[in-house]
Amino acid sequence: MFSIFSSFLSLNDYKFNIKKYEKEILNTKMKNKGITRSNYNGWQSEPFKTVPKKFIALFKKINENVKEIERNLFLSKQLRLHNLWYNVNSLGSFNRPHHHPYSTVSGVYYISIPKNSGNIVFVNEPLDVYYEQVKNYNEYNSSTWVVNPKENQCVLFPSYLSHYVEPNLNKKERISISFNYGF
């Protein structure tokens, strides 16, 4: 049986001061043009190879959750942070379907999530093989899995898992930090 979503999709609620994180990211956005990857009409920072000082406590907590996944997968090597970047999606912005190559665990930490600002949708294409045989859909047998993010929540997932972010339908900006861990 496939268990891709439930065995390797981790949702963690944190209690950090998201206002200071939001301020830092918006200050960075004002100073930098940003880059385009999977984002459409949104802003994405250049990747950071090390954790900026203001986010050290946050990534200490994220590291704990990544270590738990590492233990559950019985990996022979330790995962380490490869990179991180900031995301700001304004009205109409979204992220196209993509995955994160050359990594093992990817994630996103949500800072500002206005109502109707876009869910993250994971796509599990191999499950389409027995699509017609399913009576009731759940996290084990769905070909897509939708996460309606909350502020101060961290979502960890397999880097190879294709995903996209729905359009922001709110006039307020959706702000998050994405990152990759690997060997």
Give the domain ranges of the chain: 4-182
For residue 183, give every residue at least 6 positions away whose Cβ sits within 8 Å of its Cβ, in sequence order, or none.
77, 78, 79, 80, 104
Give the CATH class of 4-182: mainly beta
Q: What is the pLDDT of residue 128?
A: 54
Interval 147-163 mean pLDDT? 94
pTM assigned to the model: 0.91
Share the mean pLDDT of the chain: 90
State the Cα–Cα distance between residues 12 and 70, nearest whole angstrom. 16
Q: Are 182 and 123 in contact (CB under 8 A)?
A: no
Phi/psi at 48 (nearest 5 deg)?
A: -100, 140
Q: Average pLDDT, stretch 20-28?
A: 98
Contacts of 138 (CB under 8 A, 6+ apart): none
* % of residues, the chain, pLDDT over 90: 75
Lowest mean per-residue pLDDT among 16-20, 64-68, 126-130: 126-130
Return the pLDDT at 136: 80
Q: How far apart are CA 128 and CA 118, in angstroms?
A: 24
Rg of the chain, C-alpha, whole Å: 16
State whether the Cα torsion 119-14-25-181 is positive or negative.
negative
CA distance 98 to 155: 16
Q: Which two tokens stand for residue 121?
A: 């949708």
SS3 83: strand
Confidence of residue 82 (pLDDT cuts 50, 70, 90): very high
CA distance 90 to 29: 12
Helix intervals (H) in the chain: 4-7, 18-31, 56-72
- Residue 4 has a pLDDT of 44
Nearest to 168 by CA among 97, 95, 105: 95
